[in-house]
Copies of this chain bind each other. A is one copy, B any other.
């Protein structure tokens, strides 16, 4: 069955379609933090952040079904849905971020964020870290260190070394915040010397794709100061840390303690319905909307807004941010107690946590981490790994994840770690 599906995928979707696991999982049903495969096997979902309030949450499903049966048009007609949502979402944001463009994917949201910085500054140069991912449009994908674009890398993008709590930028943890900011300042100088000028830096405040390094609030202060001093914009990609996942704060930048100019949101925003948004201050929105004509046919349609509103309802009604704090603390404590010869660091914040493994000779334990992920899948827990060397386990479950689920995952993890050859 799985073999047949893989053959059909190759035939209909082409090569290099990414899948998870040596033997990909054929999922047919979801509910809360649980997934079921075609053979009826149940998995604990410790990976998926898109079904933020839980797979197939009935409140969100009902909102989608009800609105889809009533009306689904676009924002060239007036509708309350997008306004109600914009009002409610911007209330969670400070720093005068009070306006929104609604789109369909985080990639589209970041594609707009880059143009907002261009519109405000009149410059075209951008900075990102050297192990990030902000999306898949032709423009945004150039911020990610994947394969070079046809015609070569654009000169207007500079990548700086990503923060790391095991191998810190500059060599020591105490100096990492300043060392990171120094790289950013140097990149700004290069962009200006090359004639591109500096439009802004795009960053995830929890550096999720970089391997969610253990950083303190304020880590980004020197970097933000360098960006501001150069007149650039801080483009804050909240696709992963946002909507309460970090537990202590609703937004990653609030945890870090800085004021972004533009905030982008996506994946968890409507529990899997294709919805994303770019949020900013009125002055920046006006600059963008005066510099570029922009309309998104599906963006902000009534069904998408109903799904996004219902997702906010559940986050609030079920106290999911508080749950992320409690369960995240509990899971981190359990991970800290795990003893393993290759364990370099257990870290995390809220419902985004994992363990980094390093070989005795200092090399990243990439293959070992891969085997642990496969072992967990065999044991009925879905998770994955992340970071520059893919040697860090990544757990980022739906937000209704409770301590009993953490226990189940950690019990299995202890067993898999004991069973996996070094």
Contact = CB atoms under 8 A, between A and B. Distances in A.
A14 B286 contact: yes
Nearest to A106: B297
A274 B305 CA distance: 12
B104 A298 contact: yes
Contact of A6 (B24, B78, B292): B78
B105 A296 contact: yes
Given A18-B295, A137-B138, A303-B273, A12 B87 contact: yes
A118 B15 CA distance: 18
A123 B149 CA distance: 11
Interface residues of A, number: 107
A174 interface: no
Contact of A56 (B71, B104, B124, B138): B71
A301 to B, nearest CB: 7
Interface string A69-99: 1111111111110110011001000000011
Nearest to A90: B12
Interface stretch (A58-66, A230-238, A412-420): A58-66
B61 A30 contact: no
Interface of A: 2, 5-6, 8-9, 11-20, 24-30, 35, 48, 50-51, 55-56, 58, 60-61, 64-65, 68-80, 82-83, 86-87, 90, 98-101, 103-108, 111, 114-115, 118-119, 122-124, 136-141, 146-147, 149-151, 196, 199, 266-267, 271-275, 282, 285-286, 288-299, 301, 303-304
10 contacts: A15-B286, A19-B76, A28-B70, A30-B71, A48-B73, A50-B74, A107-B108, A123-B150, A137-B139, A273-B298
